[in-house]
Amino acid sequence: MSSTHKLPISRPAIGVVGKTGYWRLKRPEVNYVKCIKCGICWLYCPDSSINILGDPSKYVEVDYNYCKGCGICSNVCPVKAITMTEE
């Protein structure tokens, strides 16, 4: 579906300050053994820095180029499969 209208929608894009990963103090690390592939971390990430790969052994992947280390993914994970570790 496409439209010539001026719509109030936006799509994920690279921000004007470039790669913001270096802002991070703690990095989220996913334990793929614990991960139940629910996608809640992907849904909550405020910077669209978690991608769903769909691979059974690696369902999601954190994009460390942009992840600012806010820790929301770790907080919302229902099985505590994401831990925040010091950089």
Partner 1 sequence: MVIKVLTGNYTVAEAVRLSNVDLITAYPITPQTTIVERLSELVEGGLIKARLVRVESEFSALAAAYGAASCGARAFTATSSHGLLFMHEMLWWVAGSRVPMVLAVVTRALGPPWNIWNEHTDFMGQRDCGWLMAFAENNQEILDTIIQLYRITEDEAVYLPGILGLDGFLLSHASEPVDIPDEDVLKDFIKPRSQPYNMCSDDVLTMGNLPMAEEAMMMRYDIHKSIEAAKNVINEVDEEYRKLTGRSYGGLAECYRCNDSKYLIIAMGGWVGTMKDVCDELRDEGYDVGVLKIRFFRPFPHEDLVRAISGVKGILVFDRSASLGSLGHIHAEVLARAYMLSNKVIVKGVITGLGGVDVGPKEVREIFMRFVKDVDEDGQIDNISEWVLGGG
Question: Which helix (DSSP H) or strand (DSSP E) does residue 57 occupy?
Answer: none
11, 17, 56, 57: which one binds partner 1 (CB under 8 A)? 11
Is residue 13 involved in binding partner 1 (CB under 8 A)?
A: no
Alpha-carbon distance of 68 to 62, in angstroms, equals 11
CB of 12 to partner 1, least distance (A): 6
Residue 46 or residue 56: which is nearer to partner 1 going by CB?
A: 46
Which tokens belong to 84?
């925040």
Which tokens belong to 49?
């820095």
Which residues in this chain contact partner 1 in the complex, by CB under 8 A? 1-3, 5-12, 48
